[in-house]
Amino acid sequence: MEKHYNIPVFLPELACPFRCVYCNQSAISGHDAAPSVLEMKAVIESRLSTIPIGASDVEIAFFGGNFTGLPISYQEFCLRLANSYMSSGRVKGIRISTRPDFITQHAVRFLKQWNVRTIELGAQSLDDEVLVKSGRGHNAADVHNASDMIRAEGLRLGLQMMIGLPGDSLSSSLTTAQKIIEAGADETRIYPCLVIADTELEEQFKNGIYQALPLQDAIEWSAELYLLFERAGVKVIRMGLFPSDELRSYGYIAGPFHPAFKELVMTHIWKKLFEKTQWPEAKAIRIEVPVSERNFAIGYQAVNKKNLSERYEKVSFHAADLPHRDHFTIHIEKL
Ligand code: SF4
């Protein structure tokens, strides 16, 4: 499968009429003002210089805030710039992220005319109680309606979700994931909710009204969600927040943040798989796993390998041409 590259351009909190309890966009994205055309070009050129020439699946992605809530003139300003890169052949598509309640049929058609091919909606939860407690300002029906409009125009649909929001539970998150699948999403992102400085959630956290999800719970929930999405063919394009310098230095207060969050989740998935496995009586084993999963099988900081090394004198992992992690194989080796 060809590798996909996003070139993210952040438009933080622009046009967002709400303030979700957890949101401080400038701390999360590291940006707090609309980028000028020169800044956007610098971001795009710099990222393009790191992408192999000839890579065919490159998208310019306008992230953050609420793209379809921006004045039309500013949307056109951004899209014109992105289209100029498409005309030059260096970029194949455009994606935007926006709020579900700012999607209309007119807005989707407008974006389609400007070659937007993927719309990501911040769904976050499809549990109305969680949405209210999180101050999202929209309900689950808004997400379903927006999803239908996007799919009706033939655009790719991304539905982002968050775990550990106020009022959330594992069961509620699994239900949200199931509804994201049923809404026809092509892709998703799983973000653990963090407590960031200067947000309502920070107040709730300090007053003991909100308890942040422990890191281990976030890993275990995300592993269940990942497997659910994987079985349904919904691509999980991100797990965990990308850490901006601002988030590291002053924004982060509490919550399940880890710079290698995805690796921890995939390590946990392999750990559970190994726990279910019948292991041979031997001194040395060789484990063959799919190429893309070798590092995950070994585990973050080689934790899975270390666990197996308590049982075997020698454990080695090898990448093999296997279709899925469930097909991994164990071979007994001579010492
Ligand atoms: S929708 Fe919520 S999370 Fe997104 S920019 Fe607005 S306030 Fe922040």
- pLDDT value at residue 17: 78
CA-based nearest residue to 40, from 62, 67, 65, 15: 62
- pLDDT value at residue 7: 95
Q: Is 190 in the pocket of ligand 1 (CB under 6 A)?
A: no
Closest protein CA for atom 6 of ligand 1 = 16
- Please give the residue that has the higher pLDDT: either 223 or 11: 223
- pLDDT value at residue 184: 98
Reported as half-sphere exposure (CB side, CA atoms, 13 A), residue 220 has a value of 9
pTM of the model: 0.93
Per residue in 225-261, pLDDT (tens digit) is 999 999 999 999 999 987 766 566 668 999 999 999 9
Q: CB of 120 within 8 A of CB of 96? A: yes
Cα–Cα dist 206/200, whole Å? 10
What percentage of the chain has pLDDT greater than the value 70? Answer: 92
Q: Is 142 in the pocket of ligand 1 (CB under 6 A)?
A: no
pLDDT level of residue 224 (50, 70, 90 thresholds): very high
Mean pLDDT of 304-308: 98
Cα–Cα dist 292/275, whole Å? 21
- Average pLDDT of the chain to the nearest whole number: 93
Mean pLDDT of 113-133: 97
Q: Is 19 in the pocket of ligand 1 (CB under 6 A)?
A: yes
What does the block give as tokens for 298?
């070994």
What does the block give as tokens for 11?
């438009």
Closest protein CA for atom 5 of ligand 1 = 65
Closest protein CA for atom 8 of ligand 1 = 23
Per residue in 138-157, pLDDT (tens digit) is 999 999 999 999 999 999 99
Give, as one character, the DSSP assignment of residue 53: T
- pLDDT value at residue 28: 55
CATH number 3.20.20.70 given to 4-259: yes
The residue behind tokens 């974006």 is 111
List strands edge to edge, sheet with 116-124. 4-10, 57-63, 93-98, 116-124, 156-163, 187-192, 235-239
Cα–Cα dist 176/228, whole Å? 11
- pLDDT value at residue 261: 96
Q: Is 14 in the pocket of ligand 1 (CB under 6 A)?
A: no
Residue 118 DSSP SS3: strand
Q: Are strands 4-10 and 195-196 parallel, antiparallel or unpaired?
A: unpaired
Q: Is 274 in the pocket of ligand 1 (CB under 6 A)?
A: no
Per residue in 324-334, pLDDT (tens digit) is 999 999 999 98
Q: Is 18 in the pocket of ligand 1 (CB under 6 A)?
A: yes
Taking the centre of ligand 1 as the mean of its atom positions, its distance from the CA of residue 325, in whole angstroms, is 36
Residue 3 DSSP SS3: coil
- pLDDT value at residue 34: 76
The answer to whether residue 267 scores a pLDDT higher than 60 is yes
The answer to whether residue 316 scores a pLDDT higher than 80 is yes
- pLDDT value at residue 13: 63
Which residues pair with residue 161 across a beta bridge?
124, 190
Mean pLDDT of 77-94: 94
What percentage of the chain has pLDDT greater than the value 90? Answer: 82
- pLDDT value at residue 242: 77
Taking the centre of ligand 1 as the mean of its atom positions, its distance from the CA of residue 39, in whole angstroms, is 23
Q: Each residue of 91-116: b (16+ CB within 10 Å) or e?
A: bbbbbbbbbbbbbeeebbebbeebbb
Give span(s): CATH 3.20.20.70, the chain: 4-259
- Please give the residue that has the higher pLDDT: either 89 or 221: 221
pLDDT level of residue 25 (50, 70, 90 thresholds): low
The answer to whether residue 203 scores a pLDDT higher than 90 is yes
Considering only the C-alpha atoms of the chain, give the largest distance between any 2 of them, rounded to a whole number of Å.
Answer: 70
Q: What is the sign, positive or negative, of the torsion defined by CA atoms of 86, 89, 91, 93?
A: positive
Q: CB of 224 within 8 A of CB of 265? A: no
Cα angle, residue 153 at apex, residues 147 and 159 outer, rounded to 5°: 25
Per residue in 52-78, pLDDT (tens digit) is 877 668 999 999 778 999 999 999 999
pLDDT level of residue 19 (50, 70, 90 thresholds): confident
- pLDDT value at residue 246: 57
Mean pLDDT of 172-192: 98
CA-based nearest residue to 167, from 216, 206, 126, 113: 126
- pLDDT value at residue 78: 95
**Side chain identity, residue 195:** V
**SS3 letters for 103-115?**
CCHHHHHHHHHCC
